[in-house]
Amino acid sequence: MELIFLVFAYLFFINTVGMVLMYRDKKRAIKGEWRIKEKTLFNIALLGGSVGILLGGKRFRHKTHHKSFKYGIPVIITFQIALFIFAFYFFQNNPFY
């Protein structure tokens, strides 16, 4: 039970970070200031913040026309869901865990 809580707490945190970064990058883009690198945004997505990046992009209308974000983030989300399902069933049915 503690592991599940830690996983969800981490996912909440990293997705919040993703949304905040998308918001800050949008504000910086409007002001013509220094921007957050796309590599950083993708790294946050790969670390579990893909839903936050996707929702932040839609909410703040930021990077929604970039093909790398339009198609890449949903691919990452799909991979992460598959990984989560695999891990759930593996640990559920593994007699050594």
pLDDT of residue 31: 95
pLDDT of 59 over the 70 cut: yes
Residue 54 backbone phi and psi in degrees, to 5: -65, -50
Write the DSSP symbol of residue 3: H
pLDDT of residue 72: 92
pLDDT in tens, 23-48: 999 999 999 999 999 999 999 999 99
Cα separation, 86 vs 81, in Å, equals 9
Q: How confident is the model at residue 16 (pLDDT cuts 50, 70, 90)?
A: very high
pLDDT of 97 over the 60 cut: no
Q: Domain segments of the chain: what residues?
A: 12-93
70-96 average pLDDT score: 88
Query: Which has more pLDDT, 80 or 90?
Result: 80
pLDDT of residue 49: 96
Cα separation, 66 vs 59, in Å, equals 15
